[in-house]
Amino acid sequence: MAMTSFFFLRFWRKHILNLSEIYPDFISLKKNFLADQSYSILISLAESIVLLVKAHREFYSSVPLLSWMHGSEAVEHFFGVARQINSDFTYADLIYLIPKIAQHSKALRNNIIIYEKEKSVREGIIYHIIKLLLPSI
């Protein structure tokens, strides 16, 4: 799929370039194609996923490739915990926070720390509406 998107983008761009040579008054790459930055980003993403597959095959052949696990959620969680400990930190502060973040994560995994999940606004609204509609509950 990554190779398909890579070649599709390349062929599409080439097609628009060919049309712009034939019909220069009507077709231009700037008006009838993606922005240069978008094209570069999409090509880079396609190349990156191919390189990820190649690297995974070479170095982690015994582990299945779960491409959806290669996201930013873990990084976002890490920085979220860092902000809970210290809301305004520098890079040096972050280096010192790493052991605390590791202990925090370990405590969460071992159920030493249990966070009560707060009721969201929607849950309260649904409960309130149900109470209004069905007062016997």
- Phi, psi torsion values for 107, nearest 5 degrees: -65, -40
Domain boundaries, the chain: 2-69, 71-137
pLDDT at position 117 is 62
Distance of CA 42 to the CA centre of its chain: 14
Token pair of 121 as six digits:
């606004």
Phi-psi region of 94 (alpha: psi -120 to 50; beta: other; left: phi over 0): alpha
pLDDT digits (tens, 9 = 90+) for 43-92: 999 999 999 999 999 999 999 998 877 788 888 989 999 998 899 999 99
pLDDT digits (tens, 9 = 90+) for 18-41: 999 999 999 999 999 999 999 999
Full-model pTM: 0.55
